[in-house]
Structure 1
Amino acid sequence: MRSIRFLCAVFVGCLLLAACEESGPIKIGFIAGLSGPGSDAGTGALEALKLAAQQVNTDGGINGRMIEIIPRDDLKTPETAQNHVRELKRLGVDAIVGPIISSIGMAMLPVINELGVVTISPTISAADFAGFRDNLFRMNTTTRENARAYARRYIDLGLTRVALALDGQNQAFTDSWYREFLLEFDALDGLVISKIWINVNNVTHADAAAQLLADDPDAIVLITNSGDGASMAHEIRKLSPDIPLAAAEWAGSQALIELGGKAVEGMELVQAYDRYDTNPRFQQFIKDYSAMFAHQPGYTAVLTYDAATVLFAAMRAKHPEQSLADALTNLSPQQGLHQELVFDAFGDGNRAIYFVAIQDGKFIRVN
């Protein structure tokens, strides 16, 4: 009888535990750089996730369960990001949103696969992530599409000799971007006459600017974050006020303009969203985001809101016996802020891209 009573107690305890798990909050981890240079990208992403969660919670949650966001700062350090994944797993998160940069994604990948934590990155784009079935889902177009679009544009503009600055703190992205740009540019008879690594080996931005200009390029491309892009632009403009400048899509936040000032006027770059889109869904997002945070959303906010859209939709659609990864892969197309959102069989998404130029302190779309 004691054995029977014990087994009954265990059974009831398991039922109560399952009930608590089903009725408690849905925990979403968030990992991104939230401090230091370029942290505006991570902060904007976190804000968009908070907005999406608040809207879901206001509507009653997902199957009656509220969304709880647990943010962590990766400090742009691989080991820190890996430790955060392990911590968030222990805390029982249902999924992770992030990271923002590809080098951190590379560090997190083996850990999220080992622990089975579904992770959706709004922005990472190194081509090396594409075409693998794992627990990392990506919203963004890869460097293959983006960097090659830059190469074609500069050939069309007659800028056939370019120099590049590459950020050594996000080598997974910059290496991939450079490789794809070089392949397309070379095929179109363009020439990369020099490349300089920054944020490594104590190379100052002033020294890097001088080296980039030494071979008299037609244009300089900065494969950096917004803060370093702005700083490099200042140093380059001291030596060459008129040379055409471009920045990789990673730099395309409002901080680039705020920190760069006149030095970034005329700079071109790709963005993964159309800030002048008039569709009601996007305009309502801008209104809600601005009301909540008192400033306009940037590209990481737009892509993160879309990431939250598909994540929450998959959680609603998931059958009890179905994994979240399977639910995401088989999810019907969801309407995002600009376009339909869907993952392929490998968990890879795709975005339309738009060239913009900085004119009078604003991003203006160019043809």
Structure 2
Amino acid sequence: MKKQEDHASRPVKGPRFSIRLCTIAAAAMMLFGCDNSGPIKIGFIAGISGDGADTGIAALHALELAVEQVNEQGGIRGRKLEIIARDDQKNPETAKAAVREFKELGVTAIIGPIISSVGMAMLPVVNELDIVTISPTASAAEFTGLRDNFFRMNSTTRENADAYARRNIDKGRMRISLALDGENEAFTESWYREFLLTFDKLGGRVVSKVWFNTADTTKPDVARQLLADKPDAIIFVANGVDSAELAKEIRKTDQDIPLSTAEWAGTEQLITLGGDAVEGMELLQTYDRYATNPRYQKFVADYRNKFNEQPGYTSVLAYDAMTVLVAALETRTPDQPLSDALATLPPQQGLHQELMFDQFGDGKRNAYFVKIKNGQFILE
């Protein structure tokens, strides 16, 4: 009986060792997914159909290029990257459903969306499901200062709209009409509030605020309303396609009134569709499309070779978003949440500038005013 008691009281190492292995394996599964040899899945969400789809498609192309380059170098710790793309159709409910699908598919992170209204809809879902999401372009000021899973590469409407207000005051344009896109209200309303705050403080006056892309508006009606109060200038807070169409309607009545459009509109489609109507139009851009630094020039060459088109601003910001995501995936420790790895990541060299997030996951971009001259965006 004594021998049996001694045997029973000895530590039994086998089962404890097995439990330890299971714990390690579980941690690894949480970090890298169930199949450590399979691809690291990156979700992408943006509007890639319908009007304004050029911005989403350009961002997707940049991600495809970035993933191809990472995979050619061996991937992340030997694992390839795989993009799973979904079209949000500019619809908040569609976007939320896509986030839940991404969770079921085991994505490691999401890149997107492009517009702020979709980002606002996604925000509670990515926090609920604990999925890191990096938006290349969402800029509504309401995103800032929040500790959450939603990271942003772009400056906010606060900085950008303030710059537009000061530029118009400097040019003596004291009476402004604004056209606001109702399909991206989170962005346009935020942009308007920030513009008005500075413009009013500097003595300017918004004489007309006209919503469009609503059930009871047409582009000719919007143009008439914008011109009715004889403003010094008109600003479209809209995408490139709508800005081009509105400019055409304005030019049917007034060939000379200065036109500006929000930074959101700065795509090749603005010039292609707008033609002569957008000549002289001003807008803010978060990159210099004529930069000569070797990193950017290689990106442009690779992009054009792969897609036979010029990259746009969403291409640049999406490529930068993938740059920081790859760096965080490569450098984080096995037990480190991806959100923490991104927030503490040292500055990374982007296509134009160093990239980093503050403690709230907010980024900031250098900005440049450009004017359309002879069918090209020319740095002012």
| TM-score between the two structures when normalised by the length of structure 1 | 0.96
Note if 1:30 corresponds to 2:44. yes
SS of the equivalent of 1:70 reads: strand
Secondary structure class of the residue paired with 1:326: helix
Greater radius of gyration (CA): 2
Q: Which residue of 1 aligns with 2:213?
A: 199
Pick aligned residue for 1:272 from 277, 283, 286: 286
1:151 corresponds in structure 2 to 165
Counterpart residue identity of residue 92, structure 2: P
Which residue is 1:89 aligned to? 103
**1:346 match:** 360
- Residue matched to 2:346: 332
Structure 2 counterpart of 1:217, from 211, 231, 247: 231
RMSD: 1.8
Residue 121 of structure 1 aligns to which amino acid in structure 2? S
Matched, 1:44 2:58: yes
Q: Deviations over 1:216-274 (max 9, x none)?
A: 00000000011111000000000111110000000110000001000000000000000
Q: What corresponds to 1:173 in structure 2?
A: 187
Shift of 1:198: 0.2
Q: How big is each residue's C-alpha offset from its partner over 1:71-98, in whole Å with a ceiling of 9 and x where there is no partner?
A: 0000000000000000000000000000
Normalised by the length of structure 2, the TM-score is 0.92
> 1:48-104 CA deviation, whole Å, 9 max, x = no partner?
011110000000000000000000000000000000000000000000000000000
Report deviation, 1:291: 0.6
Q: Which runs of 5+ in 1 are unaligned?
A: none
Counterpart for residue 262 of structure 1: 276
Aligned twin of 2:369? 355
What is the CA-CA distance between 1:15 and the residue it aligns to?
Answer: 5.0
Residue segments in structure 2 that go unaligned for 5+ positions in a row: 1-13
Decide which of 240, 249, 272 is 1:226's aligned counterpart: 240
Aligned equivalent of 1:288, options 294, 302, 305: 302
Question: Once the 2 structures are TM-superposed, how far is the Cα of residue 23 of structure 1 from its aligned partner?
Answer: 1.8
Which of 254, 257, 262 is matched with 1:240 structurally? 254
Task: In structure 2, give the amino acid aligned to 1:315.
Answer: L
What does the per-residue CA deviation read over 1:146-201, in whole Å, with 9 as the maximum and x for residues that have no partner?
00000000000011101000000000000000000000000110110011000113
Q: 2:114 aligns with which of 92, 97, 100?
A: 100
- Does residue 109 in structure 1 map to residue 123 in structure 2? yes
Aligned residue pairs total: 361
Tell me how far 1:22 sits from its aligned partner: 2.0
Superposition deviation, residue 312 in structure 1: 0.3
C-alpha distance 187-323 of structure 1, shift in aligned 2 (>3 A): same
Q: Does 1:300 align with 2:338?
A: no
Task: Give 2:149's aligned amino acid.
Answer: N
Q: Is structure 2 residue 135 aligned with structure 1 residue 118? A: no
Question: What amino acid is the match of 1:283?
Answer: Q
Shift, 1:362, TM fit: 0.4
| Other structure's SS at 2:378 match | strand
Q: 2:199 aligns with which of 179, 185, 189?
A: 185
Cα distance in 1 for partners of 2:313, 2:253 equals 31
Q: Which amino acid aligns with 2:343?
A: T
Q: How far apart, in 2, do the equivalents of 1:78 and 1:218 lie?
A: 36
Give the match for residue 76 of structure 1.
90
Q: 1:8 offset after TM fit, Å?
A: 7.6
Q: Distance in 2 between matches of 1:280 and 1:238?
A: 43
Kindly provide the amino acid, as one letter, of the partner of residue 374 in structure 2: D
The counterpart of 1:59, out of the listed 73, 78, 81, is 73
1:195 counterpart SS class: strand
Corresponding position of 2:8? none
Query: In 1, distance between residues paired with 2:294 and 2:251?
Result: 40
Matching of residue 315 in structure 1 with residue 329 in structure 2: yes
Measured against aligned partners, the alpha-carbon deviations of 1:6-47 in whole angstroms (never above 9, x if no partner) come to: x989x78x9599495322100000000000110000000000
CA distance in 2, matches of 1:94, 1:363: 37
- The superposition leaves residues 291-346 of structure 1 with CA deviations (integer Å, 9 ceiling, x where unpaired) of 11000100000000000000000000110000000000000100000100000000
What does residue 3 of structure 2 align with?
Answer: none
Task: Name the aligned partner's letter for residue 121 of structure 2.
Answer: A
Partner of 1:135: 149
- The residue type equivalent to 1:276 in the other structure is Y
Report deviation, 1:202: 2.0
